[in-house]
Amino acid sequence: MNIELAPSILSANFAQLAADAQQAIDGGGTVLHLDVMDGHFVPNLTIGPPVVRSLRKKLNVPFDCHLMIENPDLFIPEFAEAGANWISVHQEACVHLDRSLHLIASHGCKPGVVLNPATPVETLTEVLDLVHHVLVMSVNPGFGGQKFIPNALNKIAALARMRAERKLDFRIEVDGGVDLETITDIVKAGAELLVAGNAVFGHGDIRSNASKLLEAARAATLTRA
């Protein structure tokens, strides 16, 4: 299992995004998680393709664009063109999920699908062979710094079982409330892509926050049953 830390810039200082993100990368972040919100699918607004394009010129890790927007098909081409490497869409936002995932792949990006806390993993049965990653939301999306919802652990474990049973190779990502207290259980449940916003950028030294999280995550793999 390849554990990776994906710092979420949602809690970074937006006046110095690239510098903050670089510190998180220096601390061991290997994927940058970018939260895109439209004020409709979630009650918040964040960034669009111009910010992705600007950061792309400064940073050298894969960009993981998490689209919390309605009608994502309308924007997938522009995010791909702006420099996204992975693009994930919410199951709940996609009437034609199969089409959206193929659209992402057709623009040269890795397709991912996201589940809100109330959405069962079984709703993905028919698309698991199409995705590069499944993102399990462990908070209701829209804001950083929320408390981890423990049922996400059951969903991560269920996805890991489905993956093994069907001999698939999608990666399991978790997003929301990932911190030094929750990360051990998250990794033990089977997640390997760990998104963290507040725990990396919210306080103290960004680089050391990132490296401590990664260290705790790696330690958890050694004790996993």
Instruction: List active site positions.
Output: 35, 175
The residue written with tokens 């926050």 in the block is: 209
Contact 174, 186 (CB under 8 A): yes
CA distance 182 to 23: 22
Identify the residue among 4, 9, 66, 171 touching Zn ion (CB under 5 A): 66
Q: Is 177 in the site for ligand DX5 (CB under 6 A)?
A: yes
Beta bridge partners of 179: none
The DSSP output letter for 8 is B
Q: Is 32 in the site for ligand DX5 (CB under 6 A)?
A: no
Identify the residue among 18, 145, 149, 160 touching ligand DX5 (CB under 6 A): 145
Residues 58-97 as x/- pattern, contact with ligand DX5 by CB under 6 A: --------x-------------------------------
In the list Zn ion, ligand DX5, none, the entry touching 30 (Cβ below 5 to 8 angstroms by class) is none
Identify the residue among 146, 149, 157, 184 touching ligand DX5 (CB under 6 A): 146
Residue whose CB is less far from Zn ion, 4 or 175:
175
Identify the residue among 35, 38, 179, 192 touching Zn ion (CB under 5 A): 35
Contact 11, 196 (CB under 8 A): no
Binding segment toward ligand DX5, per CB under 6 A, in 56-64, 159-167, 172-180, 208-216: 172-180
Identify the residue among 5, 69, 93, 139 touching ligand DX5 (CB under 6 A): 139
| Integer CA distances (angstroms), 79 to 45, 52, 60, 76, 161, in order | 16, 7, 17, 5, 32
Q: Is 29 in the site for ligand DX5 (CB under 6 A)?
A: no
CA count, 13 A, side-chain hemisphere, 67: 31
- Give the N- to C-terminal CA distance of the chain in Å, as an integer: 13
Residue whose CB is less far from ligand DX5, 102 or 142:
142
Q: How many residues does the chain have?
A: 225
CA distance 47 to 26: 23
Residue whose CB is less far from ligand DX5, 83 or 197:
197
* Token pair belonging to 121: 């993993």
Instruction: Give the binding site for ligand DX5 (CB under 6 A).
Output: 8, 10-11, 33, 35, 66, 139, 141-142, 144-146, 175-178, 195-199
